[in-house]
Each structure stands twice: as structure tokens, then as C-alpha cells.
A and B are shown apart, each in its own frame.
Chain A
Amino acid sequence: MIPAAFEYKRAGSAEEAINLIGQYGDEAKFLAGGHSLIPLMKLRLAQPTMLVDIGRVKDLSYIKDAGDHIAIGALTRHMDVEKSPVLSQHVPLLAHAAGYVGDAQVRHRGTIGGSIAHADPAGDIPATTLALGATYVVQGPNGKREIAAKDFYKGFLESALAADEMLVEIKVPKMNGAGWSFQKFNRRAVDWAIVGVAAWRNNGASGVALVNMGSTPVLASAVSSALAKGASVADAAAHAADDAEPQADLNASVEYRTHLAKVLVRRALEQASK
């Protein structure tokens, strides 16, 4: 399969990319690693007439210790997130989850920012950064603004990014020794999760987010509220799907997804509580 025809421009900087995308409007798309966008274009599920290739904006590939958080450039590849000593030390949940994205070949090309901007509820990275309370830095023609992960996901493959805005950085709070777990339930290696869970817990505080349990990644706030009120792991996990509106597909019915979410959240919290 070959994508429908499009024009191609390569940007050397974020500013140039934003300027280019502004000229072409809604019909243009940023191309980073391309491992979400190119498959969609082959299937004609996306048909941009202009691609602005930001894959060579190398100054957006970094992982920096910024005090209370780690700053990750949007063009940092999954493989670099997975193998980062800084993230392994301070945000081990994210480094671990990055190792579940696709396979080695995909992780060599796909980027953290691409995964987030693509806003696929079945993606591992959107839910993981949501659970961690990340903030996304986006840049437009008039400068930068910050969007909390919990305010970013608006619908299936829809985000709060304006057409002329580019995700440039992900700020992830340090976990400060919190217990954590990433659970991914699928039938075959490298498939998307039928349901996945990213969770951390530190004394009374916790963060739990669900993969593929609705049209967006889902913050399981009811689970964290229950834990904060002293509920047991089993009782808190019973609330796993309270914030979700899962959909049925070839892999799972709504009932099965709801069941899986409760089981996986329980397992995740047990692991995070050790």
C-alpha cells in the first residue's frame, strides 16, 4: 500500500515547522517518526495533502533533569526513553512503558511526542503520561503554552493542539520512589493493549490511567479517590471503570473490557503497593 499523493517539506527547526504548517492549514500534518501517521495514510484513514517533516529537528530530542521533573523533547524516540538512565532513576514507569510500544524496529523510529499528539486511546504513552500527571508544552506562532495531560485528550485521535501548534516538550514529575506498575493485556506480541493500566502509588497519593478504555486515555480518578480515603486495593480496583466509557470491538465486549480493567488495576495496585 502506498499513501495518496501529498507534498513534502522538511523543517529544520520548530519555528520553521510551525510557519510551514500555518501556510498550509488543516490539510497539513507534522511527520515525526511516522509510525502512527504513515499506516493511517496507507489505509486512507488520514489524507493530508502536505507533510511537514520534523524528524530532523534534533534539538527536540533530549531527556533532561529539570529539578522536580524530567523534561523530554517531543522528538525523543521510544527507544531512547526506554533506555534512559535518567528516566529509569526518576520516572521508571515511563521508561518501562516505552519498552511496550510496538517492537524494537518501531521504537527506533517512533517518538514520544508523536504518540501523544496522535492521541490514540490504545497507545501506551498517552495513558502513562496521563497517570504520571505530565504537562505537555506546545508551541504555536505566538509562542508556547502548557497543557496538562488531563486536559489534552479531547476525543478519538483528537487533542487540544490547534492546527498550527506543535508539541515540543513533555514535562513528567519525578516519581520520588513511588511504587508503580504497567499492565498490558493483549493476545499477541506487539498488538495494542486490549486494556492497559499505568499506575503509581506513594503513601496517600496515586495516579492510575487506562489504555483503550474509551475514546481517549482515561484517568481513573475514582480509584485514586478511593485509595486516598483508605480503601483496600481490591475495593479501590472495583472502581477501575467508573470514569471510563469503553467500546466494544473485535477483541473485546464492553463487559469484558470493564472486567479486564478491574483485574488489571487490582494487579497494578498490588504491584505498586509492594
Chain B
Amino acid sequence: MKVSITINGSAQSHDVEPRTLLVHYIRDQAKLTGTNIGCDTSSCGACTVHLDGEAAKSCTILAAQADGGAVTTIEGLAINGEMHPMQKAFMENHGLQCGYCTPGMVMAAIGLLNENPKPTDEEVRLGLEGNLCRCTGYHNIVKSVLAAANK
């Protein structure tokens, strides 16, 4: 079947099987490999992207379900090479170690601030409960999100 999804502002159409997951569509068809596959069971959040403006786990959504929708991935955040404030905050606050969870973490964090622009430390921790960092660098991730919220 043919699905049309706008990814990072660019309208694309690709042939997929009904069982094609959105994360595979993004990585294999749209060739955007910034979105990682972690647990593949909607637990870890590494595959988090924005679907129609809201954070979602792309390993648990069919590309067919996103047909006609708009997806933003980590590659879509920078404008003219200028990093998104959340990306800058992660860089400045050492919000990443190995970096594997980072694309999903950044997308979830931006989604969180869209819904709650000035969260408390606790609200950040709760808001990011669907994203796991196996380096356990949570303190600096929270610090990064709070720094971005205060900019």
C-alpha cells in the first residue's frame, strides 16, 4: 500500500507493507537514521518522534496509521544548522553519555515542554518516564530539560 507522510516538512510517499512500522518507514524508507530502535516493545522511548505534534513511540505505530500525518524526527529540529534550544541544553548540561537514548529523549522532552512549559524537577522526571537511559544519566537529562525550559 502507498502511504504519504510529511517528514520534517518534506512530503513523501512510499510503498509499504501494512505491517511496516513507522520507525522502519522513517529509517529505511525516508533514510533518516537519527531515530533509534531500542527495546522495540514501546518501553524505552528511543524511537520517540512527534506525530502530528505529539510525542509518540514509532515502534508501536504502523506507517499506515500515520498516513496523511506529519512526523518530526531529531533531524527536523535544527533550523539552518542552528540547533534547537533543547539540543543545545543537552549539549551544555552534559545531558548525554553514549547518546543512544538522546534522540528519543530530546523529542520526548520537547513534547513535555509543549504541554507543560515550566515543569518542576519532579514533573520532568514523571514526564520522561517513558524514556530509559541505560547510562543512567538521568540527573543531567533533567538538568538539561529544566535549562531549556528556563530559556
B96 on interface, CB distance cutoff 8 Å: no
A106 and B130 contacting across the interface, CB-CB below 8 Å:
yes
Specify which of A38, A108, A190 is in contact with B55 (CB 8 Å cutoff): A108
Specify which of B41, B62, B115, B129 is in contact with A103 (CB 8 Å cutoff): B129
A250 on interface, CB distance cutoff 8 Å: no
Interface of chain B residues 99 through 142 with chain A (CB within 8 A)? 108, 111-112, 115, 127, 129-131
**Contacts A34-B60, A103-B129, A189-B129; A2 near B41 (Cβ below 8 A):** no
A3 on interface, CB distance cutoff 8 Å: yes
A132 on interface, CB distance cutoff 8 Å: no
Interface residues on B, range: 20 to 34
A42 and B41 contacting across the interface, CB-CB below 8 Å:
yes
| B67 to A: closest C-beta gap in Å | 8
> Binding site of B, secondary structure by majority: helix, strand, loop or mixed?
mixed
Residue tally, chain A, CB below 8 Å to B: 27
Bitwise, A158-190 to B at CB < 8 A (1) or not (0) is 000000000000000000000000000000011
Contacts of B131 in A (CB 8 A): 103
Interchain CA distance A130-B61 in the complex, whole Å? 29
**Contacts A39-B41, A105-B108; A3 near B19 (Cβ below 8 A):** yes
Interface of chain B residues 31 through 67 with chain A (CB within 8 A)? 40-43, 45, 48, 51, 54-57, 60-62, 64-65
**Contacts A8-B1, A39-B41, A189-B129; A105 near B56 (Cβ below 8 A):** yes
Interchain CA distance A190-B108 in the complex, whole Å? 15
CB nearest neighbor in B for A2: B19
B17 on interface, CB distance cutoff 8 Å: yes
A38 and B62 contacting across the interface, CB-CB below 8 Å:
yes
B21 on interface, CB distance cutoff 8 Å: yes
Interchain CA distance A131-B15 in the complex, whole Å? 46
CB nearest neighbor in B for A35: B60
A42 and B40 contacting across the interface, CB-CB below 8 Å:
yes
CB nearest neighbor in B for A189: B129
A105 and B19 contacting across the interface, CB-CB below 8 Å:
no
A109 on interface, CB distance cutoff 8 Å: yes
Specify which of A38, A42, A104, A108 is in contact with B127 (CB 8 Å cutoff): A104
**Contacts A103-B129, A108-B56, A109-B60; A35 near B42 (Cβ below 8 A):** yes
Contacts of B18 in A (CB 8 A): 5-8, 51
Interface of chain A residues 42 through 69 with chain B (CB within 8 A)? 42, 51, 53, 55
Residues of B within 8 A of A (CB): 1, 17-21, 24, 40-43, 45, 48, 51, 54-57, 60-62, 64-65, 108, 111-112, 115, 127, 129-131
- Can you name 8 A-B residue pairings with CB atoms under 8 Å? A6-B18, A38-B21, A38-B60, A39-B41, A39-B42, A109-B57, A190-B43, A190-B129
**Ranked 4 nearest A-B pairs via Cβ:** A103-B130, A8-B18, A189-B129, A108-B54
